A and B are shown apart, each in its own frame.
Chain A
Amino acid sequence: MPYIAEVSRKNPSCFIFLIDRSGSMSEAIGGGAGKRKADGVADAINRLLQNLCIKCSKGEEIRNYYEVGVIGYGSVVGPAFSGSLQGRSLVTISEIANAPARIEDRVKKVDDGAGGLAEQRVKFQVWFDPMADGGTPMAEALSQAHALLAEWTKQHQSSYPPIVINISDGEANTPVSVEAAALTRLSTTDGNVLLLNCHISAYDGAPILFPDSVAGLPDDFARMLFEISSPLPDNLKAAARSEGFNVGENAKGFAFNAELAGLIRFLDIGTRPGNLR
């Protein structure tokens, strides 16, 4: 049975985030007048990295259960960490934990226990900054991910397969099916690389999470991203169902217009092999 390898320091797992940084990411989410897509995605990535660091912490130390890469694609395509990790392709979770680019003071609204909301000051670690410039060279980003993971899977054949999470809002410059197929042909003994796609659209449509067909997807690009998404392994389907997602047997790792909370939950599920020991 695939996708059951334990994630450990001896057999770490790997995540690659591909982040659309094209000009259209400066538009507001859902075509409204609110937060920019680029900012929403940056917050979601940083929050996910915070959660990963906390998940891997043990006592006073942090255990290298994961290696993480972030590749941005827009006017340039390449590693997208900020701060002292700038230019690094794949970084261990302990390096991430100990090197945020900066720590921001933010205010979080929390339940005050009396039916209202109270403001709580929190520290917010930042490793990835928003950017919105240029076209959408998604194929090049998928190729760079392939180059990274071809080497990584060779060195980690017993590990849980890497998960690539592609977040995009618009049409790719060129078709990407060839590069996507090459990427998901890479494998460890526990299964093939998984490609999960999250489409943040300007079209103000209802969120669709982990569909099992193209029915209801509004345009060709959403349908294309669905087609190149990996089928969800059984344990990820079970994890999604336990989080309240309605997941069919043929569900694929695709999300359309996920709200930010839904996006974080989607990413959290995608980065939770469920067997961290």
Chain B
Amino acid sequence: MFVSCTYWLQKAGNRPDDYEDAYAVSPNGDRLAIADGATETSFAAEWARKLVQEWVISSIPSLDLAADGLGQWMQALQVAWSDGVNWDALPWYAVDKAAAGAFSTFLGVELIRDELAEPANVHGQVHTNELVRWRAVAVGDSCLFHIRNGCMLRAFPIECYEQFGNCPYLLSSIPASNSEMARYTHVADGALSAGDQIVLATDALAAWLLQAHGRGEKPWVSLSALKEIGEFVSFIDELRDTGQLRNDDVTLVISEYRAKSEDDGLENVPVQTGRST
């Protein structure tokens, strides 16, 4: 099973209401998503939330989105976003901005179980092994990290700190603004072992993680040690105060894969959600 923890903190100097990232985890933990609404656009938080919430309630595979499916998948969300804007009440300066649409990154992850039957034993019993994989689809610079025993096996879609730029391609709430989307949609996957972690982070924290990794450090260990929201806030404040972390909204999802035998006797562990105060 997958046990997830989520943490978020708005940019320093902003109110919690100003937070424009979004995250979602399905009840059984096998679909996760994060998104980072672009500050320069209006109603970006609403757009980011629609993307992640739709991902975790749907069953659409990542591969379908990557293969030209993203535009169709977003159609209903785009209509819902537009319907949610009170266009008639917008002041003159807000109309043009809102009409240009909201933009957001998107990183959707599915954790896939396949059962592989082994040959029958001498008693004719057949056992199955569960093969678990992660598969992700990404547009923009929100990142996934596959961690095993504190070491990074894979970073996706950005693999090193130097690849972060100022203007990543983003998903728009306006269909006409997504014409080059297919070119900038990436998909990846990997095999999971018990104890592995899938870590999702929006760009400011992802950049810090990759920088630290590039220096030979294991920042995942620090992340795993966080127990509750207060520790997370202190952790982020320290990074910001020492100039290691760019001042921006921060979102972190850590999902750990636990093997079947560990499930025995356990209740379905609810997702812990940390919120800033």
Contacts and interface: CB of A to CB of B under 8 A. Distances in A.
B94 A59 contact: yes
B94 A57 contact: yes
Contact of B247 (A6, A57, A60, A98): A6
A53 B86 contact: no
Interface string B73-95: 00000000000001001111110
Contact of B11 (A50, A60, A276, A277): A277
A9 B11 CA distance: 12
Interface string A46-77: 00001001111111111000000000000000
Contact of B248 (A10, A50, A277): A277
Interface stretch (B35-43, B57-65, B117-125, B175-183): B35-43
A8 B13 contact: yes
Name the prevailing secondary structure of the B interface residues.
loop
Contact of B42 (A11, A59, A125): A59
Interface centre among B39, B89, B93, B98, by most chain A C-beta atoms within 10 angstroms, is: B93
Contacts of A62: 91, 93-94
Contacts of B133: none
Given A10-B13, A97-B91, A277-B11, A58 B42 contact: yes
A58 B41 CA distance: 7
Interface string B239-274: 000000001100000000000000000000000000
B258 to A, nearest CB: 38
A54 B93 contact: yes
Interface in A99-116: 103
Contacts of B113: none
Contact of B97 (A6, A54, A98): A54
A123 B42 CA distance: 21
A165 to B, nearest CB: 21
B96 A60 contact: no
B132 to A, nearest CB: 38
Interface string A83-100: 000000000000001100
A98 B13 CA distance: 25
Interface string B11-48: 10100000000000000000000000001101100000
Given A8-B13, A276-B40, A277-B11, A57 B93 contact: yes
Contacts of A123: 92
B91 A60 contact: yes
A272 to B, nearest CB: 11
A125 B95 CA distance: 14
Name the prevailing secondary structure of the A interface residues.
mixed
Contact of B96 (A11, A54, A103): A54
A277 B38 CA distance: 9
A91 to B, nearest CB: 15
Given A6-B247, A54-B96, A60 B90 contact: yes
B42 A277 contact: no
A43 B98 CA distance: 24
Contacts of B97: 54, 57-58
A55 B96 CA distance: 10
Given A62-B93, A125-B92, A277-B247, A57 B11 contact: no
Nearest to B248: A277
Interface string A21-64: 00000000000000000000000000000100111111111100
Contacts of B92: 97, 103, 123, 125
B48 to A, nearest CB: 13
Nearest to A11: B13
B24 to A, nearest CB: 21
Nearest to B43: A59
Nearest to A8: B13
A106 to B, nearest CB: 14
A53 B277 CA distance: 31
Interface centre among B13, B94, B247, by most chain A C-beta atoms within 10 angstroms, is: B94
29 contacts: A9-B13, A10-B13, A11-B13, A50-B93, A53-B93, A54-B96, A54-B97, A55-B40, A57-B42, A57-B93, A57-B94, A58-B97, A59-B42, A59-B43, A59-B98, A60-B89, A60-B90, A60-B91, A60-B94, A61-B94, A62-B91, A97-B93, A123-B92, A125-B92, A276-B39, A276-B40, A277-B11, A277-B39, A277-B248
Given A60-B86, A60-B89, A62-B91, 15 more contacts: A11-B13, A50-B93, A54-B93, A56-B93, A57-B42, A57-B93, A59-B98, A60-B90, A60-B91, A60-B94, A62-B93, A97-B91, A276-B40, A277-B11, A277-B39
Interface of B: 11, 13, 39-40, 42-43, 86, 89-94, 96-98, 247-248
Q: Nearest 6 pairs between A and B by C-beta?
A: A53-B93, A10-B13, A57-B93, A57-B94, A57-B97, A97-B93
